[in-house]
Homo-oligomer: A and B are copies of this chain.
Amino acid sequence: MARIVQKYGGTSVGDIDRIKRVAARVKKTRDAGNEVVVVVSARSGVTNALIERALAINPVPEDREMDMLLAVGEQETIALMAMALHALEVPAVSRTGSQAGIVTDPAHTRARIIKIDTTRVEESLEKGEVVIVAGFQGSDGRENITTFGRGGSDLTAVALAAALTADLCQIYTDVEGVYTADPRLVPDARKLTEVSYDEMLELASLGSKVMQARSVEFAKKYAVPFEVRSSFNEVPGTIVKKEVESMEDVVVRGVAVDLNQAKVLVSNLVDKPGSAARIFQALADAGVSVDMIVQNIGRNGVANLTFTVPQSDTRRAEQTVTALLKEEGSGEVEIFGSIAKVSVVGVGMRSHSGVAATLFSALAEAEVNIQLISTSEIKISVVIESEAAEQAARTVHDAFNLSGTD
């Protein structure tokens, strides 16, 4: 007997038929002799409809009330899922986040989990019940409902798996797993059988939008292995865990493309001590998250500083930097919106000097111009024209033989 936490996203429970299909899958898992905890999201579309209604009433809704409102979406799904399981004669009980013992800090709309009191969930599992937990939400311990922000249901699943020392955590979604590249961009992208947390983090945060980084980080911290797989078929997905067997052999695990960044160029900045620090502090204060940073100093003591920011932060970044440059007394800002960031990701990359060379020559052969380069322990990223992104991804995917076997 294993203890399994299964998480089903909004698309997987999008309508009556899909809820019934998930219930059948849960029944099958339980009939095989397992203890099952099911975490569900709001039906797809429900959360957005609630947000729309809120904004029509108040363009700046208070966070506490937003949590009170949005928690409704998951609560509907857990009740319907329990009913669907009862219809299959599976004993089941629904629990809101609060009822599942999930205690968070009081930071409404972006709460962090402090602890999980699993008493009631354990009681139900002992009685042989399937426990259905509302994802994305908890309570601040003072009876206020809190929510975790985007991707919060994955976090609920991973955190519950850790707290319940589950044998397996399955993240059911609308893709079959983690791929070597986005299959929409690279048709011969291949599904990975296994991937490490760090690789998953880079692949996920870079546009293979399978899971939010936060949940993967949580899983890494508590060493919770999990599987990403599709709720629409029976195909095994990708196992995400600490170490991946093939780690030594295969250096590059995947190619990620991110089209949601913009490039900010600060030119003719007279290089005074701390200029860069002040710019990035101002951006941090303004809540702009900066990704890649490159600086060159010319011989006349004038610096060119380039960095990327999420496209949604472009305006704020421009305003912040413009104001700061006025104080500094030099420099101009320019924004380039149509860029793409292409990254190759793989643990152990650092010790294989050939990776960068292979990447750059593949792009050169494809006549793709590299604007920026940045490297880390497990990834090399380049910024290119967004029009070249698809071509670049395919070329790089080929160059590293990613469509071969795992």
* A64 at the binding interface (Cβ < 8 Å): yes
B56 touching A82, Cβ below 8 Å = no
Report A83-97 residues with CB < 8 Å from chain B CB: 83-84, 86-87, 93-94, 96
B75 touching A58, Cβ below 8 Å = no
In the bound assembly, the distance between CA atoms of A65 and B78 in angstroms comes to 8
* A27 at the binding interface (Cβ < 8 Å): no
Picked from B16, B72, B78, the residue with its CB within 8 Å of the CB of A57 is: B16
Picked from B16, B62, B79, the residue with its CB within 8 Å of the CB of A83 is: B62
In the bound assembly, the distance between CA atoms of A71 and B57 in angstroms comes to 21
* A115 at the binding interface (Cβ < 8 Å): no
In the bound assembly, the distance between CA atoms of A143 and B101 in angstroms comes to 10
In the bound assembly, the distance between CA atoms of A308 and B71 in angstroms comes to 45
A57 touching B84, Cβ below 8 Å = yes
In the bound assembly, the distance between CA atoms of A99 and B96 in angstroms comes to 14
Residues of B within 8 A of A68 (CB): 75, 78-79, 82, 94, 96
* A20 at the binding interface (Cβ < 8 Å): yes
Render A13-32 as a binary contact track against B, CB cut-off 8 A, 1 for contact: 00010011000000000000
**Shortest beta-carbon distance from A67 to chain B in Å:** 8
Residues of B within 8 A of A59 (CB): 87
A65 touching B86, Cβ below 8 Å = yes
Residues of B within 8 A of A86 (CB): 58, 61-62, 65
B94 touching A57, Cβ below 8 Å = no
Given known pairs A16-B53, A120-B143, A143-B99, the reply for A79 and B58 (CB within 8 Å) is: no
* A66 at the binding interface (Cβ < 8 Å): yes
In the bound assembly, the distance between CA atoms of A201 and B53 in angstroms comes to 38
Q: Which of A16, A68, A87, A144 has the most CB of B within 10 A?
A: A68
How many copies of this chain are found per oligomer? Answer: 2
Given known pairs A57-B83, A143-B99, the reply for A76 and B62 (CB within 8 Å) is: no
Residues of B within 8 A of A82 (CB): 62, 65, 68
Residues of B within 8 A of A20 (CB): 57
Q: Which of A57, A72, A76, A143 has the most CB of B within 10 A?
A: A57
B58 touching A87, Cβ below 8 Å = yes
A61 touching B75, Cβ below 8 Å = no
In the bound assembly, the distance between CA atoms of A84 and B75 in angstroms comes to 23
Report A114-149 residues with CB < 8 Å from chain B CB: 120, 143-144
**Shortest beta-carbon distance from A160 to chain B in Å:** 17
* A50 at the binding interface (Cβ < 8 Å): yes
* A54 at the binding interface (Cβ < 8 Å): yes
Residues of B within 8 A of A53 (CB): 16, 80
Q: Please report A residues at the B interface, Cβ cutoff 8 Å.
A: 16, 19-20, 50, 53-54, 56-59, 61-62, 64-66, 68-69, 71-72, 75-76, 78-80, 82-84, 86-87, 93-94, 96, 98-99, 120, 143-144
Given contacts A65-B82, A72-B79, 14 further A-B contacts (CB under 8 A): A16-B53, A20-B57, A54-B79, A57-B80, A57-B87, A58-B84, A58-B86, A58-B87, A62-B82, A65-B83, A68-B94, A69-B75, A99-B143, A99-B144
**Interface pairs (27), CB distance under 8 Å:** A54-B80, A54-B83, A57-B83, A57-B84, A58-B83, A58-B84, A58-B86, A59-B87, A61-B86, A62-B82, A62-B86, A64-B93, A65-B82, A65-B83, A66-B79, A68-B75, A68-B78, A68-B94, A68-B96, A69-B75, A69-B76, A69-B79, A69-B80, A72-B72, A72-B76, A98-B143, A120-B143
Q: Which 10 A-B pairs have the closest CB atoms?
A: A69-B79, A58-B83, A68-B79, A58-B87, A65-B82, A61-B83, A65-B79, A72-B72, A16-B56, A57-B83
